[in-house]
Amino acid sequence: MNEPSPSPLATETSSAPGLWPLITCPGTPLSEQQAETLRPLLERFSKRIKPPLTVHLLGENAAVFGYDDLSPQEVEKHLLGHRFLRHKRLQWADFIAAKGIETVVLKGMATAHDIYPDPDLRHMSDMDLLVRRDDLGPLVALLKAEGFKFHSGSQVPPWGLITDASFPPLISREGDVNIDIHIHPDDYPVHRSLSTEAVFADSRVVEAGATRLRIPSRTHLLLLAITNAGRDKFEKLCLKGLVDALLFIENFASDMDWNEIEALAAKGGFLKPVGCFLALVTRLGVPPDHLPQHLIPHYRGFPAAEFERLIGDFETMFETPPSMLTRLRRETLLTAQWRTILWKNMRRLRGLITGSESLIPKP
């Protein structure tokens, strides 16, 4: 496989590949010639994280690209759409709380109301709610009585869903609200060390207008952004969560307890994806003094070659979707320890034998 040629910014202003110097090193100068070269990468990046957040990250450099989708009019249109859907979700969060069911909001809905100057900068496809197992049945019954239905989607693999942390999404009768219920903070092996009760115990309350949302601690939010990205094998799907993690590290470094993250990852058996994340963001341009250097792996042999392929994917902003073989290789070499690989394959085998529905958690 040929190595990707260095991008203009990688050779002239930073060792970070492709578009990433503009994201991890705010204020990096950008010429019109560089912008023209990087334009395809910008388009792929913006399509995934949406124009408002793209403009927020690029600052004044956004205008240099001359990309119509980043115009003030387009950004405002997206912000209005984000705001409408966010308020619809907040109404349901209020409704659930009024019924006496305690939840912790996870992932995008939590970070949007915690680390962004305007929560509508952060595009969200759903609202992720962590509940105690005893509240699972009542919450599902409550939402079903209001017209919500489980929807597995059209892209479920032959073995079905292998998650043990959450359900297929519950979709409202009108189709405009998507609620993903979690009984664990993340899939095995994360909940071996980070339990639902631990997330509840360290959670905080933030104000979202008239709504009070309970969200995880910043250390737990960062850790879950990392484990979610690792579960996605650091593919295109992880970009929004990866940006969240970069902003946590850039703006709230003093709030991050890396000792707790290390202890949880060691106990749970997921130091491998944490190390891959740290190696990745180092290459993307995060300053070394923001990161625990002793947790960053120094890859050799096959893992080193796979890590360079991963960097190539980030340099091109995932121009080519990874094959199934690439996903399996990346999981084995970079993102999962053997115990987790065995667990996932046993779940897949069970799904093939007993039917995919058997792997969907039942209230």
pLDDT for 154 equals 56
- Over residues 26-76, the pLDDT tens digits come to 888 999 999 999 999 999 999 999 999 999 999 999 999 999 999 999 999
What band does 167 get if pLDDT is binned at 50, 70 and 90?
Answer: confident
Give the CA diameter of the chain: 59
Q: What is the pLDDT of residue 14?
A: 46
pLDDT at 168: 86
Q: Would you state the pLDDT for residue 102?
A: 98
**170-171 vs 178-182, strand pairing mode:** antiparallel
HEC assignment per residue over 257-310? CHHHHHHHHHHHCCHHHHHHHHHHHHHHCCCHHHCCHHHCCCCCHHHHHHHHHH
Does residue 155 surpass a pLDDT of 80?
no
Residue 138 has pLDDT above 90, yes or no: yes
**What pLDDT, on a 0 to 100 scale, did the predictor assign at position 178?**
95
Return the pLDDT at 162.
79
Q: What is the pLDDT of residue 44?
A: 96
Amino acid of residue 337: Q
Looking at the predicted structure, is the pLDDT value of residue 7 above 60?
A: no
Domains, the chain, with CATH or none: 8-359 (3.30.460.40)
Q: Is the pLDDT confidence value at 6 over 50?
A: no
pLDDT surpasses 50 at 103: yes
Share of the chain above pLDDT 90, in %: 81
**Alpha-carbon distance 221 to 180, whole Å?**
17
pLDDT of residue 2: 40
Whether pTM > 0.75 for this model: the answer is yes
pLDDT tens, position by position, 314-359: 999 999 999 989 999 999 999 999 999 999 888 888 877 776 554 4
For residue 12, pLDDT beyond 50: no
Q: What is the average pLDDT across 197-223?
A: 97
> Average pLDDT over the chain, rounded to whole?
90
- Label residue 253 by pLDDT band (50, 70, 90): confident
What strands lie across the sheet with 170-171, from one edge to the other?
104-106, 127-130, 178-182, 170-171, 149-150
